Structure 1
Amino acid sequence: PPQPKPAQRRPAQPKLTKSQAAAVAAYDKALIAFKKILAERRAQIEALKSPVKAPAQKRAKKPKALPNLPGQAIYLARLKVMSTYADLTDALPSRIGRPNAYGVPPAFFEAGIEPLIEEYAELFRIMQAPPAFAQSSDAPLRDVVQLGMAIARAKGADDAAAERAGLIALGIFFAETNARQNIGNARSNTYKGSLQTGPSEDHNGRRKWAAIKKKIAKLDPALAARDDAEEARAAGIDQRFNHWTAVRNGLMNAHADLLGDIPAIAAMMPDEIDQMKLFQLIQIIPTPTRAALKSGNVATYEISDRRVMGFLRNNSIFTFGKADRARTSATYREILDAMWLFNSKFEKARARFAAIKRGAAE
């Protein structure tokens, strides 16, 4: 009789080295921790919305309150997941998977965890919802563009440069809040509103606006009239929670002078996305960025200050993986290239800016 065929064995999987096994374990641990903190925050939010009713004979338990800065823990957990995944794919390049919905380089993000990031974003939307007294705009994107253009013109920009200033202002709005107006901040008790400014920055911007308001009124009387109306509307509240005044003050505080220098900046950095990144860096590391612009060669200007590198890492630049975290210096070209998490936001801003130019509704 015919003899049965011997069972075919699967090829043996290559044995992991000690460092590879450690990278796998670190990622698995970070992923478990991320899922846990997401579930914890969701449970806390749901408990606050719909407290569980205890039996009459038992004392009702008070719903567990969200901690101060409830977004910080889940933010750090997300960074840990991406950072340990970068270390994992460094150790095991075969773990680099398919492209993901967010445009993140696949070596830094496993596409299979996209639902977790969707939950993460939804939790932030809930935790950073505008306060009840916030004063919104029916056309928040158009407002940002108009203010950016008006400020640039007041600083001497021609029509082409002013148009670019409108795009850049919109890019900042997308970068800071994903284009959501009047939001709070689940990671900070200081920075709030449509451009995520602190009280001192907001007041400084308001003062600077007052200094050029007469010039603005001559250049664009309708915009000045709108400004008067928004000032009156925001009387008695924190101006960071009126969309118009928040954007106006934020742009005046940090960006106004540079919005008048766009032709020179464009000569050094012709790419629109790079320009938006530079203006975003004015939000993050203003002093060295201004020094880089004054140097005449932004791309080669190098930063080696530990404190500045720390500010970059706190904004998801040189944050992911041991190799990035070990960096002690970087040129601006390297910094701009490392700002890949901002790319999709600036592309959205560019698309919406084009729609606004066509007269499309928001």
Structure 2
Amino acid sequence: MGTTSHTAAPTAALALGLFFTPPASIATDAIISTVAPLVAVAIGNLGFMSPALAEPAALTKKQSDALNTYNNSRSNFEQVLGQRRAQINSNQPIPNLPGQALYLARNNMMSAYKDLTDALPSRIGGPNKYGIPPAYFSADNEPLLDEYRRLFDLMQAPPANAQRSDTPFKDVVDLGTAIARARGLDATNAEAAGRISLGLFFAETNGNQNIGNARSNKYKGSLQTGVPEDQNGRKKWAAIKKSIADRDPALNARDDNEEARVGNLDHRFNHWTAVRDGLMNAHADVFPQVPAIVKTLPDPIDQMKLFELIQIIPSPTRSALQSRNLVDYRISDPKVMAYLRNNSIFTFGQADRARTSATFREILDAMWLFNDKFERALAKFEEIKSSQKVEAGRPGSDAR
């Protein structure tokens, strides 16, 4: 909301949504180290009950240092959350890019916790409700991430004039499927493209339509695009619109209605046009490769991750797709590795940050912050498909 600070990349990637990172694969207007130290703000206690970890006896200096660093980073995260909450509750001015300090503080805490569990494996606890690997996150800190998400919901609320849809998830699936069919896919593979498109919506915005972006002034809307990306997507849509109209008159009529409705409004704040233009800009040209991608990556979540990487690191991902071995294609460009880290991939802990290269299989596996989003996208997709089957089975329905 992944997601994305891929400054060299032409499209915005929201990386890691509202649960763990702000929605926005943003090249955050300026790549800032996700582990940069933050100055603690002296504010009142937020009332979070999770205490800092106490120091047991007989720790080595390395272990003691790791424990102190973690405790300090956790305290700082709590303070930054409290400061932003106090500003919002009292209607005080908040800074430009108000989510950036929260994002960095969260990353610092998770990074310090991973260094602590590397030094003291006994500190690895049980599972947490966010599905973050326990070596990176203590379940005791769930209240902090709860507040983190609530604050981003407030800071990224849609503008008052945004044009919402009553069927936002179905719209994404319908558009992705229709675009894939226009690009030559059969019904089965077009359905996969629709499912992948829904995953992108969750990755970029956590499934929230028309949102702003608390970490970037460039990327907005339901697919977190910039103005140039949106305009490029509109041009590409115009080029296939006749094909869309011939194949699916009902969807084309909906499109005409949304175009009339949006008028001179920023197309990124009409859910339909935002999704349509975002898919056309970055993903429609890749849809013809869906059959090969599904064969190589049979896991639907891996497929979604790959298309999210087109948001974050588009050129390397396209090169990997053109190679003979997608999963073993290796990235070693320092700038590309920096884009990944800015989207919470190989971000947490000294061992992860020390990596100088990675294969696409390793990158996909490291995108664990996306797992919860994509699982919810899959569940929503199955719900939509089940509803469509019920509708098609009713007497007099058009089973087109």
State the TM-score, normalized to the length of structure 1: 0.91
Give the corresponding residue for 1:208.
236
Q: What amino acid is the match of 2:386?
A: R
Structure 1 stretches lacking a partner, 5+ long? 1-12, 49-63
List aligned pairs for 1:181-196, cutoff 5 A: 181-196=209-224
Distance 1:295 1:269 in 2: 15
Tell me the residue number matched to 2:58. 15
**How far apart in 2 are the matches of 1:270 and 1:220?**
29
What's the CA shift for 1:296? 2.5
| Deviations 1:114-133, CA, capped at 9 Å, x for gaps | 01100000000000000000
Displaced runs of 4 or more, over 4 A: none
The correspondence for 2:69, drawn from 11, 16, 26, is 26
* Corresponding position of 1:47: 90
Residue in structure 2 matched with residue 224 of structure 1 by the alignment: 252
Partner of 1:139: 167
Mapped contact 1:38–1:120 kept (Cα < 8 A): yes
Take 1:260 and 1:142, find their aligned partners in 2: how far apart are those partners? 22
Q: Are the aligned partners of 1:195 and 1:247 in contact in 2 as well (CA < 8 Å)?
A: yes
User: Which of 257, 265, 281 matches 2:285?
Assistant: 257
Q: For the residues of structure 2 that align with 1:207 and 1:317, how far apart are their CA atoms?
A: 32
Query: How far apart are residue 270 of structure 1 and its match?
Result: 1.5
Shift of 1:297: 1.2
Give the AA of the match of 1:359.
S
User: 1:204-353 counterparts in 2 under 5 A?
Assistant: 204-353=232-381
* Equivalent residue letter for 1:197: T
**Distance in 2 of aligned mates of 1:41 and 1:295:** 46
Q: Which residue of 1 aligns with 2:105?
A: 77
1:96–1:107 CA contact under 8 A, matched in 2: yes
C-alpha distance after superposition, 1:123-154 (max 9, x if no partner): 00000000000000000000000000000000
Corresponding residue number in structure 2 for 1:36: 79
C-alpha distance in structure 2 between counterparts of 1:120 and 1:202, whole Å: 29
Does 188-197 or 258-267 show the bigger shift?
A: 258-267
Q: Which residue number corresponds to residue 166 of structure 1? A: 194
Cα distance in 2 for partners of 1:168, 1:266 equals 11
Q: Deviations over 1:17-69 (max 9, x none)?
A: 11101100110010010000000000000111xxxxxxxxxxxxxxx300000
Q: 1:134-188: CA deviations, max 9, x gaps?
A: 0000000000000000000000000000110110000000000000000000000
Once residues 324 and 280 of structure 1 are traced to their aligned partners in structure 2, the CA distance between those partners, rounded to angstroms, is 20
Deviations 1:232-271 (A, max 9, x none): 1111110000000000000000000111221111122121
Q: How far apart in 2 are the matches of 1:298 and 1:277?
A: 13
* 1:103 equivalent in alignment to 2:103: no
Separation of aligned partners in 2, 1:243 and 1:254: 17
Asked if the contact 1:268–1:296 (Cα under 8 Å) also holds between the matched residues in 2, the reply is no
> For each residue in 1:272-291, what CA deviation from the matched residue of structure 2 results, as whole angstroms up to 9, or x when unmatched?
11111000000000000000
SS in structure 2 of the partner of residue 70 of structure 1: coil
Read off the aligned partner of 1:25 and give its amino acid letter.
Answer: N
Residue 14 of structure 1 deviates from its aligned partner by 4.6
- The alpha-carbon deviation at position 190 of structure 1 amounts to 0.2
Give the partner amino acid of 1:238. Answer: D
Q: C-alpha separation between the residues in 1 aligned to 2:141 and 2:328?
A: 37
Percent of aligned pairs sharing the same letter:
66
Q: Check conservation: 1:268, 1:297, Cα contact below 8 A.
A: no
Q: For residues 260 and 149 of structure 1, what CA distance do their matches in structure 2 show?
A: 12
Q: How many angstroms apart in 1 are the aligned matches of 2:292 and 2:234?
A: 26
Find the counterpart in structure 2 of residue 56 from structure 1.
none
Q: Which residue is 1:9 aligned to?
A: none
Cα displacement string for residues 175-212 of structure 1 (whole angstroms, at most 9, x for unaligned residues): 00000000000000000000000111010001100000
Q: Which has the higher helix share?
A: 1
CA contact (8 A) 1:153 1:260 kept: no
Normalising by the residue count of structure 2, what TM-score does the alignment of the two structures yield?
A: 0.83
The one-letter amino acid paired with 1:31 is: R
1:126 to 121, 139, 154: 154
Separation in structure 2 between the aligned mates of residue 90 and residue 200 of structure 1, nearest angstrom: 43
Structure 2 counterpart SS, 1:181: coil
Q: Any residues of structure 2 matched to 1:148-163 within 5 Å, and which?
A: 148-163=176-191
AA in 1 matched with 2:302: D
Size of the aligned set, in residue pairs, is 335
Find the aligned partners of 1:295 and 1:166 in 2 and give their Cα distance. 25
Do the aligned residues in 2 keep the contact of 1:27 with 1:88 (CA within 8 Å)? yes
- Provide the rounded CA distance (Å) in 2 between the counterparts of 1:160 and 1:203: 30
Q: Which amino acid aligns with 2:69?
A: A
Q: SS at the partner of 2:80?
A: helix
Preserved contact between residue 304 and residue 328 of structure 1 (Cα < 8 Å):
yes
- CA displacement 1:276-334 (0-9 Å, x = unmatched): 10000000000000000010211100000011001100111000000000111000000
Report the Cα distance in structure 1 between the residues aligned to 2:324 and 2:221, rounded to whole angstroms. 34
